[in-house]
Amino acid sequence: MSDRLLSLEGILPTYPRHPVPRVVREQSGILRARFDCMASPCEILLSDIAVPLPEQLTLIANAITEAWRIEHKYSRYEADNTWAKLHQQRGQPQNVDAETQRLLLFANQAWQLSDGLFDITSGILRQCWRFNGQNVFPEKSQVEELLPYIGWQRLQWLPEQSTLMLPNGIELDFGGLGKEYAVERAMSQLLEGVANSETYRLLVNLGGDIAVRCGQLATTPWRIAIEQADTDGGEHSHITLANGAVATSGDTKRHIKHQGKRYGHILNPHTGYPITAAPLSVTVIGHDCIQAGMLATFTQLQGTNALDYIRATGVPFVLQTAEGSFQSE
């Protein structure tokens, strides 16, 4: 029996911006769907002997639809989505929907827990920091011009009334948590469909941010490879995981070299400059993808203290610096 190509046609709404997902039933019985979302290659893996194949395909279609829905809703590149409407009404109080409300609530908690270092208003720094390989180091004045528009505390937000006043010039960027959120939402879609089963094995991977879940009777956990930085997929370490998530912060290709110093793409919202001496990459194995992703980002934001910080969380990790690779015991 060889791998079998299956079609989601008819059960998946078409999004013109994305190619049609490719679903393959592998010899092992695992369904593997590959698709694009948030400018990343993504995949969903599903196996469950207790759920018939047509239902499995429907579940995968639902999960992909959910990931695309979130992308479409909060993308900065679309004309009339929730994100665009939010920013059209800057300078006046506006009501936000329940999902956006929850995201703002979470952003607020993350801002507090990171002592202000994780800030979803810091996205506008992209205007002067472009990590696109052109190696342009901004002028000091360019950075300073943007600082008055950065700071979560500048928002006027009444969570109890779902009311937000977004000052002019301030921009919200859900990119820092949107992918992790989409991973967990897609996973929720899959879990709803296998609620009556104990034998499911599920994996959602959006561009390297991964969540896995296995039912009580599914005894084979997932085996996940963790790429080493700077080796282009050459060397891997592996972890096995039945329930949890893996998320990575750090992209070795996204940096600027200036006067012999390397500037990574993790920016400090207080200074407007890249965090100095941040690790090349941090991979965190967490309870869920959002927690893992946030911890990885928080760790990067600690700069020179990154290793001490992630060690102190007690959460499993792989951290890579120019000096080498470090792992939790």
| Interface residues toward other proteins, by CB under 8 A | 49-50, 52, 98, 102-103, 105-106, 108-116, 152-153, 181, 184-185, 188, 191, 195-196, 198-199, 216-221, 242, 286-288, 290-291, 294-295, 298, 309-310, 312-315
Distance, in Å, from the CA atom of 237 to the CA atom of 5, rounded to the nearest integer, reads 30
Residue 295 CB, nearest approach to other proteins (Å): 6
Spatial CA neighbour of 87 closest among 98, 68, 69, 100:
100
Spatial CA neighbour of 278 closest among 249, 315, 245, 311:
249
Let me know how long the chain is. Answer: 329
Residue number with CB closer to other proteins (11 or 315): 315
Residue number with CB closer to other proteins (132 or 220): 220
Residue number with CB closer to other proteins (16 or 314): 314
Instruction: Look up residue 299 and give its DSSP letter.
Output: H
Distance, in Å, from the CA atom of 186 to the CA atom of 308, rounded to the nearest integer, reads 33
Residue 172 CB, nearest approach to other proteins (Å): 15
Residue number with CB closer to other proteins (35 or 298): 298
Q: Encoding tokens for residue 195? A: 């609620």
Residue number with CB closer to other proteins (254 or 315): 315
Please report which helix (H) or strand (E) contains residue 200, including its range.
none
Residue number with CB closer to other proteins (228 or 321): 321
Distance, in Å, from the CA atom of 135 to the CA atom of 268, rounded to the nearest integer, reads 19
Residue 102 CB, nearest approach to other proteins (Å): 5
> Cα–Cα distances in Å, from 251 out to 23, 181, 263?
28, 20, 11
Spatial CA neighbour of 201 closest among 28, 65, 54:
28
Residue 183 CB, nearest approach to other proteins (Å): 10
Please report which helix (H) or strand (E) contains residue 279, including its range.
none
Residue 221 CB, nearest approach to other proteins (Å): 6
Residue 15 CB, nearest approach to other proteins (Å): 21
Residue number with CB closer to other proteins (20 or 113): 113
Distance, in Å, from the CA atom of 329 to the CA atom of 324, rounded to the nearest integer, reads 16
Residue 108 CB, nearest approach to other proteins (Å): 8
Q: Spell out the residues 6+ positions from residue 264 whose beta carbon is closer than 8 angstroms to its own.
A: 250, 254, 255, 274, 275, 278, 280, 300
